[in-house]
Amino acid sequence: MSLYLVHGLLIMYLACCINGPLTFPGENATKEEKEEFDEMRKLPGWGIPIHWIVSVLFAYLLTRFLEEPGKNYLRKRWSRKVESGAGVEVVLNA
Question: How high is the pLDDT of residue 91?
Answer: 60
Give me the number of domains the chain comprises.
Answer: 1
DSSP 9-48: HHHHHHHHHHH-------TT--HHHHHHHHHHHSPPTTHH
Question: How high is the pLDDT of residue 6?
Answer: 93
What radius of gyration, in Å, describes the C-alpha atoms of the chain? Answer: 24
Distance, in Å, from the CA atom of 92 to the CA atom of 36, rounded to the nearest integer, reads 58
Report pLDDT digits (tens) over 25-79.
Answer: 888 999 999 999 898 888 899 999 999 999 999 999 999 999 999 999 988 888 7
Domain residue limits at 17: 2-93
Question: How high is the pLDDT of residue 92?
Answer: 59
Distance, in Å, from the CA atom of 34 to the CA atom of 13, rounded to the nearest integer, reads 20
* Reported confidence tier of residue 84, pLDDT bands at 50, 70, 90: low
Residue 57 CB coordination number (10 Å): 11
